[in-house]
Amino acid sequence: MDPLLDVRHLKKYFPIRGGLWQRHVNDVHAVDDVDLAIMPGESFGLVGESGSGKTTLGKTILRLSEPTSGEIFFEGRDICKATHDEMQGYRVDMQMVFQDPYSSLNPRMKVKDIVSESLLIHKRTKGRETLERVRELINLVGLMDDHLHRFPHEFSGGQRQRIGIARAIALHPRLLVLDEPTSALDVSVQAQVLNLLLDLQKKLDLTYLFISHDLGVIRYVCNRVGLMYLGRIVEIAPVEKIFDEPKHPYTLALLSAMPEADPDHKVQEIVLEGEIGSPINIPRGCRFASRCPAQFGRCHVEDPPLVDTGDKHMVACHLHPAKDAT
Amino acid sequence: MLSSLLPSEGPLVKIRDLRLNFNTFDGVSKVLAGVNLTVEKGDVLGLVGETGCGKTMTALSIPRLIPCPPGEIVGGEILFEGEDVLAKSEDEMRELRASRIAMIFQDPTTNLNPVFTIEEQMIDAILCRMGEQSALGLTPFSRWQGSVREKRTEARHKAVEMLKRVGISQVEDRIGSYPHEFSGGMRQRVLIAMAMAGQPHLLIADEPTTALDVSIQAQILRLVKELVDEFHLSVLLITHNLGVVAKICNKVAVMYAGRVVETGTIREIFKAPKHPYTVGLLNAIPTRASRRGELQGIPGSIPNLLSPPAGCRFHPRCAHAMPQCAADPAPGMIPLTRTHQVVCHLFD
């Protein structure tokens, strides 16, 4: 099966300007050479700490921010080369749900206008039909008909996120990029929204790119997980593999630091020293080496590539060589 | 003064039937409706609940930091080491906040002054906690007076020592930095150092790790745990993250809409939760055991406190609601074991 989304050597640098003439002095390496393939119907989870480039990667994939270099194939066609008009066509198939349901809805638009906006822009429906479709969408995400004529401020966080989801699925997209869709919500509401997302995926045959820093949520929703560190993906594996046999030292540390709501859950805790490095002056060698408990000489010299260590388990670490090499 | 030196009997903090209203333009919001809470010496008590349930307001009422007006404490009592906090004068409160109660907040960025260096802020905090207000250098040129300079140098030594203790490296080089030069985790460490400078008896930590990444969160939690052992500290930890509670607390109090609905040891709450809300909350967290699609949220959302439901405030969302749940008065605290108490008609 061909992947729905195939990202190759994607880079996104933000220039830093300085000096007298505002010359280009350096770059923030937000996304630095990422390879990623997402199969149709899959939920791919992207995990990492703040500043690791998860959100930038999500936005760059939708070309909401222009990639610096690399290729993004959506259903086999390179969307990086698409013109503005062609991109409009692709956008129908790829939509985004944002993190903060308080700032991502226009406070001066009614719910029906928010949800129908994309239908009208892409001329999918006309007149009475539009309202009918909006009503259908609103019911699908668990809101009532009488909510249609209200403004966003009249809703709670969970309900607002449902509106955001209704807006995103209005055009029947194939791919949905969910950027921390539940991190602004309370746990009891988070569970409702996560279940809604699982439900919609089944009903509408959606593919998710699910960005989160909450490993518990990722484990619940995703089939496959990628871990990001300083603009790089360091490990990709099916969800059971990540949680049961993690390989990259960063994954191990992150999992051990994850607080489980169970007093009996005791793990050998690996507390990482220091903090995520600066994406401006990327050190030579492995980006994680300075914090890694297992680092050795080679890590500071050579940047490990992301290689397949067998069973679809990709790791970028010198401790885990590629399968065919061993 | 003597009472603070002698090991006094009884709990460190005892809150009995605390009622707090906020007078707003839309009416009276009954933010706390009879909170009962006890913090014993040496406890690390986790106060959990969802947004708007009154966790922070409960904690802020102990050092009396609720803005009044619009807030108004309309009933109940707060005893801190046996002393009635609500009856104290403002000067006595200032002394209490400086010496025996310390607080750290959720957002370390907004709680440090961006225009002063860490050094100046640390020194001021330490001088306040030592009761040396005169050494703050508030009057013109007083900073150049010999006695003031001496005290500030002494406070600086203490600041360096505290910053080292909370795990900041190269303190001498970094103490002169401004808050923006520190990362979130480092700023939280600075705030912890300030809070610990007065050797408080109670540390109130209001969502101390919510703004931090998991790996930094783990570092901060480890630090708090070490400080608890080292300084015989009691902690009131406010959080919505039950994972954090399971990691460092020994007791838990669960709040819902302005009331404590269940308290117990960590084992009692996590292994044998009794209140339907606690059960719902625990079921809503994705854990190792939860299967896809089986996570249960709690239907509905939290009530508007301007017109809260009568009786038990959870009954409109409760699967076990009975007729008497909707009737006043609200159920009282029912002791199940010596440590485990629940507020629910199911256990009458």
For the beta sheet containing B83-84, the strands, ordered from the edge strand earlier in sequence to the opposite edge, are B27-39, B13-24, B71-80, B83-84
Q: Give the pLDDT of residue B2.
A: 45
Give the up-direction half-sphere exposure of residue B313: CA atoms within 13 A in the CB hemisphere. 21
Nearest CA to A213 among A84, A49, A94, A6? A49
DSSP letter for B290, please.
P
Q: Does the beta carbon of A263 lie under 8 angstroms from any beta carbon of chain B?
A: yes
B204 vs B236: CA distance, rounded Å: 5
- SS3 assignment, position A238: strand
Per the CB < 8 A criterion, the answer to whether A75 and A43 are in contact is no
| Dihedral of alpha carbons A79, A82, A84, A90, sign | negative
Q: Give the pLDDT of residue A177.
A: 94
Q: Give the pLDDT of residue A112.
A: 92
Q: Read off the pLDDT of each residue in A139-147 and give the average, rounded to a whole number.
A: 89
Nearest CA to B347 among B317, B327, B324? B324
Nearest CA to A27 among A293, A249, A268, A281? A281
* Percentage of the residues of chain A whose pLDDT score is greater than 90: 44
Q: Which residue has the higher pLDDT, B295 or A246?
A: A246
B62 vs A104: CA distance, rounded Å: 37
> How would DSSP label each residue in A117-143?
HHHHHTT---HHHHHHHHHHHHHHTT-
Residue with tokens 């209140």: B275
Q: Give the pLDDT of residue B1.
A: 43
Nearest CA to B271 among B282, B256, B258, B259? B282
The structure tokens listed for A181 are 């869709």
Residues 6+ apart with CB under 8 A from A172: A92, A204
CA B306 to the chain's CA centroid: 24
Per the CB < 8 A criterion, the answer to whether B255 and B47 are in contact is yes
- Whether the complex's predicted ipTM is more than 0.85 is answered with no
What value, to the nearest 5°, has the Cα angle with vertex A182 and ends B271 and B26? 95
Per the CB < 8 A criterion, the answer to whether A128 and A112 are in contact is no
Per the CB < 8 A criterion, the answer to whether A72 and A10 are in contact is yes
Q: Give the pLDDT of residue A82.
A: 87
Q: Give the pLDDT of residue A325.
A: 52
The structure tokens listed for A270 are 């690996």
Amino acid, res. A26: N
Q: Give the pLDDT of residue B4.
A: 47
B239 vs B311: CA distance, rounded Å: 26
Per the CB < 8 A criterion, the answer to whether B246 and A263 are in contact is yes
| Inter-chain CB proximity A253 and B266 less than 8 Å | no
Which ranges constitute the DSSP H helices of A180-225?
A: 187-204, 215-221
Amino acid, res. B303: P
Amino acid, res. B93: M
Q: Residue A52: is its pLDDT beyond 50?
A: yes
Cis amide linkage into residue B331, ω under 30° from 0: no
Ordered by where they begin, the domains of chain B are 13-100+200-287+295-347 (3.40.50.300), 113-196 (3.40.50.300)
Report chain B residues whose CB lies below 8 A from the CB of A188: 50, 280-281, 284, 297-298
Q: A-B interface: how many C-beta pairs under 8 angstroms?
A: 120
| Inter-chain CB proximity A189 and B222 less than 8 Å | no
Q: Residue A182: is its pLDDT beyond 50?
A: yes
A252 vs A242: CA distance, rounded Å: 9
Strands B202-206 and B234-239: parallel
CA distance to partner chain B, nearest, from residue A312 (Å): 22
CA B193 to the chain's CA centroid: 16
The structure tokens listed for A108 are 């001066």
* Percentage of the residues of chain A whose pLDDT score is greater than 70: 99
B182 vs B190: CA distance, rounded Å: 9
Chain B residues whose C-beta is within 8 A of a chain A C-beta are 50-51, 183, 185-186, 213-219, 221-222, 240-247, 266-267, 270-271, 280-288, 290, 292-293, 295-299, 301
Grouped pLDDT means (10 residues each) for chain B, 348 residues: 52 90 87 90 90 88 86 88 87 86 85 90 85 68 74 88 87 88 87 88 89 84 89 90 89 92 92 91 82 79 84 88 82 87 87
Q: Does the beta carbon of A183 lie under 8 angstroms from any beta carbon of chain B?
A: no
Report chain B residues whose CB lies below 8 A from the CB of A219: 286, 288
Per the CB < 8 A criterion, the answer to whether A79 and A11 are in contact is no
B104 C-beta neighbours (distance < 10 Å), count: 25
Q: Give the pLDDT of residue B322.
A: 86
Q: Which of B217, B222, B287 sits opposite A260 (nearest CB)?
A: B287
Looking at the DSSP bridge assignments, the partners of residue B204 are B103, B236
Per the CB < 8 A criterion, the answer to whether B256 and B53 are in contact is yes
CA distance to partner chain A, nearest, from residue B11 (Å): 25
Q: What is the largest CA-CA distance in chain B?
A: 73
